[in-house]
Chain A
Amino acid sequence: MKFFEKLAKIDRRIIFVILAITIISPFLFNLTFKLTPLEESKRAFNFINSLPEGSTVIISIDYDASSMPELQPMLEAVLRHIFSRNLRVILLGHWAAGVPLGQQALEKIASEYGKVYGEDFVVLGYRPGLQAVIINMGKNIHATFDNVDYEGTPLSKLPMMSNIKTYEDVACVFGFEAGNVGEMWIQFANARYGVKVLLGCTGVVAPDLFQYRQSGQLVAIVSGLRGAADYERLAKHEAFASYGMTAQTFAHVLIVAFIIIGNIGYIFTQSKKRRSS
């Protein structure tokens, strides 16, 4: 019975080591699994696909380095899709520490597609205020960002921005969320101004947003690393997220295995206690 008692009380450090090995292995051996994209990811992909050439998408970076592993691959997959469709991008963000990540991804993907700053994409950067920024953008995007981009270049000098004044001039907002800013986009941008909102979010945040999907206030939710991998698959450019899903599969199976092991130990220990009493 001591064996079963030990099963019920495995030292968490052993769990950590085994989990670490399990997660690292797929990356070492380049393992990937084929996956069937979820409906939500397909919905987001199809919506972006349906936008006419030349349409502008506002991308909001509302995450930082901690959520980077889930959202950065998603952002890159979405940017690749957007640029392959010859759509244009305005990048801004509500997490000051996350906007540079978005910028890095945008510059990298834009150079892959030969896109030009000011004509095909613009970075507006970060402004404090969150709700105030989202509301004011519905009145005047230029004034909200003091009429300059993140480096101080007047927006009037950027060809792309000459016809973009409010949400009416953009096709949609695609927010990348690790917190609750997504709900602000829905409450203020969609509810007040009617702009279509899509959200890519971490797995933990996604359940909070399903209700908005069901009520039609959100076009689609791309959720977690799985959503990122789905989008990569749909965009036919498998990258980090696809490898990451393999690691996630192994990790999930391991966690379920540990749960079962713990319950085996628990049930046998409880039976023994009951018999002895």
Chain B
Amino acid sequence: MKREIPMIITFVSGMAIIIALFVPHPPFGRVEETFNNWYIIISGFTMILGLNSLLGHNLDKVKRKAEGWPYSLTLILSFFITLIWGIVSTIRTGHIFASTSTFRNYYYTYVFVPLQSTMFALLAFFIASAAYRAFRARTVNATLLLVTASIIMLTQVPKGETVMAPVLGVAALLAVWKLMSEFESAASWTAGLPYLLLSIAIVAVYLPIVEVLRTQTTAVNDWIMNVLQMGAKRGIWLGIALGGIAMGLRIIFGIEKSYLT
């Protein structure tokens, strides 16, 4: 029964939600909202478990003077300072984020906000290093990716189109260089011919493409974002949606039992 009872509960809850989607009549229509409210209440209590885990884990490290224990101590002190300051502020001003609250005017504004902003700002640096490392013309797909990403980056910002010509010029040169290397090392003329033709095509279309990108910046950007990438995204979304339904039905009907111990 240890496995059967959770499976029955899963089945009944899952079917109730599915029925509630199609049957607005009470009591079915309210099922989703009711379950949501139960989840909110339960998740509030599980925060106690989370806090127990967080503080227990770090207190243990401090006690054992394990590697990195000063960071754990910092965490514990920060936790209690935030908690106590927040409570005191709330008692004094009636609301933790009231306009006269010291918690909001000092702690939130000068500690919390800069720390969070800094973490997000790291992304800019990591994007640069990831782009530098990953956007290499290893394959045709990788080349398409880096060219599209570069075009989007330059069309998204003001004056980006002014550097379009030199950037694409260098990219075209590199592409021609790579293609000519492939042509050189091809086994025969016929095997190397596609590379040669592609090189000529790149040289031929370079100027018109640059002109289009320079003068129709917004249109190109919008087309790539609204048509090209949206089409690809929709395909992936379709798969995700169907996969999600399949996974949900597997769990509801007890085919997937990995959540049971």
Contacts of B181 in A (CB 8 A): 267, 271, 274
Tell me whether A258 and B131 are in contact (CB under 8 A). yes
Closest chain B residue to A100, Cβ basis = B97
Which one of A44-52, A62-70, A159-167, A169-177 contacts B?
A: A62-70
- A137 in the interface, Cβ–Cβ < 8 Å? no
Contacts of B99 in A (CB 8 A): 103, 107
Q: How far is the CB of B238 from chain A (nearest CB, A)?
A: 12
Given contacts A69-B120, A100-B108, A131-B36, contact A249 B160 (CB under 8 A): yes
Distance in angstroms between the alpha carbons of A38 and B112 in the assembled complex? 33
- B64 in the interface, Cβ–Cβ < 8 Å? no
Distance in angstroms between the alpha carbons of A20 and B125 in the assembled complex? 8
1/0 contact string of B4-26 vs chain A (CB within 8 Å): 00000000000000000000000
Closest chain A residue to B97, Cβ basis = A100
Closest chain A residue to B114, Cβ basis = A65
Residue in A16, A65, A207, A255 whose beta carbon sits within 8 Å of that of B131 in the complex: A255
Tell me whether B37 and A132 are in contact (CB under 8 A). yes
- B174 in the interface, Cβ–Cβ < 8 Å? yes
Distance in angstroms between the alpha carbons of A64 and B167 in the assembled complex? 36
Q: How far is the CB of A232 from chain B (nearest CB, A)?
A: 13
Tell me whether A99 and B153 are in contact (CB under 8 A). no
Closest chain A residue to B185, Cβ basis = A274
Tell me whether A33 and B124 are in contact (CB under 8 A). no
Interface SS, A side: helix
Q: How far is the CB of A206 from chain B (nearest CB, A)?
A: 8
- A263 in the interface, Cβ–Cβ < 8 Å? yes
Given contacts A107-B99, A252-B153, A274-B181, contact A135 B33 (CB under 8 A): yes
1/0 contact string of B206-242 vs chain A (CB within 8 Å): 0000000000001000100110011001100100000
Q: How far is the CB of B215 from chain A (nearest CB, A)?
A: 12
- B135 in the interface, Cβ–Cβ < 8 Å? yes
Q: How far is the CB of A234 from chain B (nearest CB, A)?
A: 14
Contacts of B136 in A (CB 8 A): 262-263, 266
Of residues A15, A66, A248, which shows the largest number of chain B Cβ atoms within 10 Å of its Cβ?
A: A66
- A35 in the interface, Cβ–Cβ < 8 Å? yes
Tell me whether A132 and B33 are in contact (CB under 8 A). yes
Distance in angstroms between the alpha carbons of A210 and B232 in the assembled complex? 13
Residue in A16, A101, A104, A129 whose beta carbon sits within 8 Å of that of B128 in the complex: A16
Q: How many A-B residue pairs have CB under 8 A?
A: 161
Given contacts A65-B116, A97-B112, A152-B94, contact A210 B226 (CB under 8 A): yes
Of residues B40, B128, B138, B222, which shows the largest number of chain A Cβ atoms within 10 Å of its Cβ?
A: B128
Tell me whether A207 and B218 are in contact (CB under 8 A). no
1/0 contact string of B120-146 vs chain A (CB within 8 Å): 110011011101110111100000001
Tell me whether A99 and B97 are in contact (CB under 8 A). yes
1/0 contact string of B70-104 vs chain A (CB within 8 Å): 00000000000000000000000011011100001
Contacts of A210 in B (CB 8 A): 225-226, 230
Task: Report 29 cross-chain contacts, Cβ distance below 8 Å, ordered by A residue.
Answer: A19-B128, A33-B158, A36-B158, A39-B218, A66-B120, A69-B117, A103-B97, A103-B99, A129-B40, A132-B36, A132-B40, A207-B225, A214-B226, A246-B158, A248-B157, A249-B158, A249-B160, A252-B160, A253-B163, A253-B167, A255-B131, A256-B150, A259-B131, A259-B149, A260-B167, A263-B135, A263-B136, A267-B137, A267-B178
